[in-house]
A and B are shown apart, each in its own frame.
Chain A
Amino acid sequence: MAVDNVLQLKELSELATVEYTITKIIKASDDQTWYKIGDRKILMSCQAVVKAGIDLSKLKAEDITINEDEISVVLPKATIFSLNIRPEDIRTEYQEVGILRSDFTAAERNQMMSQGETQIRSSIESTGILQTAESNASLFIGQFLRQLGYKKVDIRFGNNSPKTNLN
């Protein structure tokens, strides 16, 4: 029973240069509703795969300067492209339910996982993923341009980022 006509195809121009695999424990106690006697506790674990890289649609003709066998490229700053919490990587590790309480429903567990997803999104940049993505993008594009015959390759990010020289 599929909902038809909702599929939409979109074109992208993203070069993903790094993938971080992240683990997180989801911990919750349900004892905040005053008229419910007893509490419920749950521990879940999940794994998220986060990809980051550079959006090539932001690369303009004036960002590339060529002088004989020298090339200089100003790449857009790295961004996070996707966060994927695969169903296989979600587990309930432990739960304790008071005798007067009902078990956690699947919808409640999914709602808690959804909160965990929000927490991962808000803390992912602190892992340094964007710096790694830029460093890998420099290496890959630099190597590719050298394979095309350029002897001196100069790659920068945005206007103010430090220069990465790949001679």
Chain B
Amino acid sequence: MLRQFRNYLVFLMAILAIWFLLGKMKIIPSFSDIFKSKAVQIDETPILIKNIKELAELTTMVSIDEVVVDSITADPTTLAIKNITGLSLNPFSSGYDQLVLVCKGRVIAGTDLLALSPENIYRKKDSVSLGLPPARILEIVINPSDVETFIEKGDWTTEAFEKVKIRAREKMHARALSEDILGKANARARFLMDNFLRQSGFTKVNVYTKY
């Protein structure tokens, strides 16, 4: 009886060992893979061009940043129960919805050269003077792949989720301005245009920012 039991045990351990080894070698799915929820895959869909716009933006500075933003809202069900019964606890809810995002992004600054008018360019023989428009924030990029959801409690609609991302964008904007990104972008634009004009054959070059 004991011997039979030992044989069963050895047989079972051998089966488990073989399963484990084959799973490690990815020949058969491992135990955890069988009950693993598959990530949702989107279908291949075409892109559609909505608009084409001509630009002449001299991009001179970028601030690469990472911020954490959070948002907490009271759960409406909890509030309703509290209003009706006076009880502060809804057993089906933690009482609040919470979202914490870690967002990476880029604040891009530069000069819009389309705003450069002919009267801002003065040329005489080998001398040139150029008045550049002041630098501005051209765009702030936080794409879906730049966002990590650290905590998500409760229901968050797409609009509510995106509003939290907009707060991250505002935070990055403020941080970039506090680092004087526009002053540095102006200086960089003057340097680049000075170089370009010298390479274009001018020996006396004056590039300034026209505020």
Contact = CB atoms under 8 A, between A and B. Distances in A.
B201 A66 contact: yes
Interface string B39-57: 1111111111111111111
A147 B192 CA distance: 18
A140 B113 CA distance: 9
Contacts of A26: 42, 45
Nearest to B201: A66
Contacts of A15: 56-59, 113
B63 A109 contact: no
Given A10-B62, A149-B123, A106 B156 contact: yes
Contacts of B116: 144
A45 B56 CA distance: 29
B128 interface: yes
Interface string A61-89: 10010100001000000000111110110
Contacts, number: 228
A61 to B, nearest CB: 6
B85 interface: no
B24 interface: no
Given A9-B179, A82-B141, A66 B200 contact: yes
Task: List the 6 closest A-B pairs by CB distance, nearest first.
Answer: A113-B144, A87-B162, A107-B149, A106-B156, A21-B51, A87-B165
26 contacts: A2-B171, A2-B175, A3-B68, A7-B65, A9-B61, A9-B184, A12-B60, A15-B58, A21-B51, A21-B53, A26-B42, A51-B55, A82-B139, A87-B163, A88-B162, A88-B166, A106-B99, A106-B149, A106-B157, A110-B149, A116-B144, A118-B145, A119-B44, A144-B113, A148-B121, A148-B123
